[in-house]
Chains A and B, each alone.
Chain A
Amino acid sequence: MASQRRIDIEDLGDVTVARFVDKKILDENNIQIIGNQLMDLVDVDGRRKIVLDFGNVEYLSSAALGNIVKLNTRLKSVGGKLVLCSIRPEIHEIFKITQLHKVINIQGTQDEAVAGM
């Protein structure tokens, strides 16, 4: 059974902008689906420059962070790049508490993130 798409994709040249559909990335089942869809962008579609847009996201859990870390590691391993953008302050605090802002590129707006590629 095909799982519902949890990420909207937009291509801007060779940059892929992936936008979360969900406001709350909390449910374990959803997180598993999102994780698979993110990895497919690299492993199935062969995308290498990905901007992950958090504009819709109001909540996320540590399991969701795990998916982003995995995607970042995967992209690095194939010479690609991940940039995050449009993160609201509460979510940004999560990245700072966990110090992930030191290993993951976070920009302000989507335009800044695309330019940063």
Chain B
Amino acid sequence: MPMSSATSFEVTIPSDTTEGLRVQARILDLIALHGFSERDTFGIRLSLEEAIVNAIKHGNKYEDAKVVRIAWRIHDGELYVEIEDQGAGFDPADVPDPTAPENLDRPSGRGLMLMRNFMDGIMYSEKGNFVAMRKKRSS
């Protein structure tokens, strides 16, 4: 029986994608406990991977001195995740549309589009080094 009260966690990890995968595993364990479907889990896993790798790779540029803060909670069947890096940030509006014919052969630039498709909501801070994502459990 899914819990209705909020369950919150927060960790700070170094700019290391292996550490990112460990946090992903914790969040996936939690959503499994709360009865999220396989399809929900697929989209959440993908979105977490994209957002955490973006923070480590493009935000912190793998710098040892920089960390990534990841916070998450589930309340009333909705997962909410915040990911914040210590990089210079970016403007999501500057990311070219990867589905434009001239961009289809580009090897990168699809992560944000996948996050927007698989999550219910994505919000970036004005500076662009903080992203919040939410996903409601499918009924």
Partner of A62, one of B18, B21, B39, B114: B114
Interface of B is mostly: helix
Interchain CB contact under 8 A, A26 and B21:
yes
Q: Which residues of B contact A26 (CB under 8 A)?
A: 21, 45, 49
Give the interface residue-count category, chain B. Answer: 20 to 34
State the total of A-B contacts with C-beta under 8 angstroms.
Answer: 59
CA distance A98 to B108 in the complex (A): 11
Give chain B interface residues in 94-139, CB to chain A under 8 Å.
Answer: 98-99, 104-111, 113-114, 117
Interchain CB contact under 8 A, B49 and A70:
no
CA distance A102 to B103 in the complex (A): 12
Residues A69 and B106 in contact in the complex (CB < 8 Å), given A27-B17, A59-B46: yes
Chain A residues within CB distance 8 Å of chain B: 26-29, 59, 61-63, 65-67, 69-70, 72-73, 90, 94, 97-100, 102-103
| Residue among A26, A70, A73 with max Cβ neighbours from chain B (10 Å) | A26
Interchain CB contact under 8 A, A27 and B21:
yes
Interchain CB contact under 8 A, B105 and A27:
no
